[in-house]
Amino acid sequence: MKALPLLLLAASLTAAIPAGAQTAPKPIYNEQADARAELNMALAEAHAQNKNVLVVFGANWCPDCRALAGKMGTGALASHVDKRFVVLKVDVGRFTKNVDLAEQMGVPLKKGIPAVAVLKNDGTVASATSGGELADARGMGDDAVLRVFEGLKAR
């Protein structure tokens, strides 16, 4: 009969964990996506909206990639991004996926992720991060991220 108190203890510990903590975080990067097909759709959308495409290379396992996505999804930074860009998040896995696409856009993934490229809506590369400028997104404020994005626009 000693098993019953252990079951009660286990049940009470499980109940004490918040519901969201019991599940894995929602993926930000679609690991099964065809990045080139999604890029074509993003370019078409950008052309229709007279915007550029912000291609964000990253991975779900990367805390800085998750932090950047969070920053881009709220507040003034979200408003800035939404006004100027159609955003495409491209999964790079463990630097084994879509590396060729990053290279074509001049994005050196080995300098750190997240990394971004800005494409004109005709598909030409306007600019890209080149030295891991966003690789410490967790430690960057919205203003610092905005400065990186503004710097890309100016090139």
Stretch (H or E) spanning 91:
strand 85-91
What pLDDT is attached to residue 77?
92
pTM across the whole model: 0.83
Average pLDDT by consecutive 10-residue portion of the chain (155 residues)? Answer: 46 45 70 97 97 97 96 92 96 97 96 97 95 96 93 71
- pLDDT given for residue 26 in this prediction: 75
Pick from 96, 19, 87, 111: which is nearest to 61 by CA? 96
What pLDDT is recorded for position 2? Answer: 52
Secondary structure class of 57 (helix, strand, coil): strand
Ordered domains of the chain (ranges, CATH): 26-154 (3.40.30.10)
